[in-house]
Structure 1
Amino acid sequence: MHSAIHLALHDSRAAELRAEADAHRLAATVPGRCPVALRTRLGWTLVEVGLRLAAPPKGATPAAA
């Protein structure tokens, strides 16, 4: 790929990502919506609960084949 084309594609994608970040930032400041920190904490708590549910119980022996 020619370097000018590669640079143009990179610039285009960077502009798209900046626009998405700005939209996300604006959505986080809308009154009545969850703050980002609360959503993040809730998300990680759900991940932790899922991992605990997926893990075998402590002291369990592996099933024999």
Structure 2
Amino acid sequence: MPSISIPVLVLWGDEDSFTPVDGPVGKYFSSLPSQLSNVKLIVLEQVGHCPDDDRPDLVHEKLLPKLVG
């Protein structure tokens, strides 16, 4: 991740049981915004491992402004 210079938006479900946000991978990605200015993490409430399947409306709400704006 440190070699990526383009903006990165990470959407993570707070109910992800496969890769929980408090697990090793989740902790790594949670730490990135404080280390890399191009990374933004948004934890989505009441969302599991596949945010775009679980809550497509919420994913679109967070993702579309980044694509359009």
Relative to total residues, which structure has the larger strand share, 1 or 2? 2
- Identify the structure with bigger relative contact order (alpha carbons < 8 Å, sequence gap 6+): 2
Answer with 1 or 2: which has the greater Rg.
1
Relative to total residues, which structure has the larger helix share, 1 or 2? 1
Structures share fold, TM-score greater than 0.5? no
With the length of structure 1 as denominator, give the TM-score of the two structures: 0.28
